[in-house]
Amino acid sequence: MPTRLVGILNLTPDSFSDGGSYTDLSSLLISCTTLIKEGAAVIDIGAESTRPNAIPLSAKEEWQRLAPYLKSIINHIHQLGALASLDSRHPENVQRAVDLGIDWMNDVSGLSDQAMIDVAASSHVSIVVMHSVSIPAERTMTIPDDIDPILYLKQWLDTCISHASAAGIDKQRLIFDPGIGFGKNVDQCWSLINRADELKAFGYPLFIGHSRKGFLAPDKAPKDRDPETCRVSAQLCRKQVDYLRVHNVISNKLACISLQ
């Protein structure tokens, strides 16, 4: 399967790259249309920023942001032939999204919550399981330097899969996200990018979210990191990574097409 792009739709005032960009349903639907026409196969909808130093939201606060728009956004995405994903760590909100017809649940907490496992087990949606050390990301909390990050993530994923299987979740529904920038220092982020083929060898569809993150160009503002993002995207396409979560879909699509 060729690499597929996952377009980012943030309903957040404080995301590190595009917080506050969309404030009404019309703007959100226009953004969805643009992302899909530019080449996104999946739209990942998020209402809580997980950037470093972000203020965590309660499930109620997150749902207050999602509720006015989510059903309309999901329907619009489906009408355009793409899949809809909800990026959330709150099980009750994921369940609401499942009831509204979401296709993917993107769990940044990696099924660490039994309630989230229960939601996953009672549904048939695809499940992105992301590794993290803390949510929101905390720069001082990382995988130990003396541990091979690939081995560490393999052990973590094996445990995650064991818990999912025990709950009756079909392993074929799982998509693995190593969590670039979540509990990894700059060197570890680059190691995971450069060794993405080893992550693919775990045997699960591989999902990488590197777009505009600080490790790419620490001295640049997030929106100025698209050139670095695209170079890494091209590298990951070459390694046949299954999904890339990106802000600027068209630029990343062109970067991947340039390899063909």
**pLDDT at position 199 over 90:** yes
4-257: CATH class: alpha beta
How far apart are alpha carbons 143 and 250 in whole angstroms? 33
Cβ neighbours for 176, distance < 8 A, ≥ 6 positions apart: 128, 129, 157, 199, 202, 204, 205, 206, 207
Query: What residue spans define the domains of the chain?
Result: 4-257
Which two tokens mark 145? 């330097």
How far apart are alpha carbons 187 and 167 in whole angstroms? 35
Q: pLDDT tens digit string along 152-184?
A: 999 999 999 999 999 999 999 999 999 999 999
Q: pLDDT tens digit string along 75-108?
A: 999 999 999 999 999 999 999 999 999 999 999 9
How far apart are alpha carbons 7 and 44 in whole angstroms? 6
**pLDDT at position 21 over 80:** no
Give the count of beta carbons closer than 10 Å to the beta carbon of residue 55: 9
How far apart are alpha carbons 99 and 202 in whole angstroms? 31
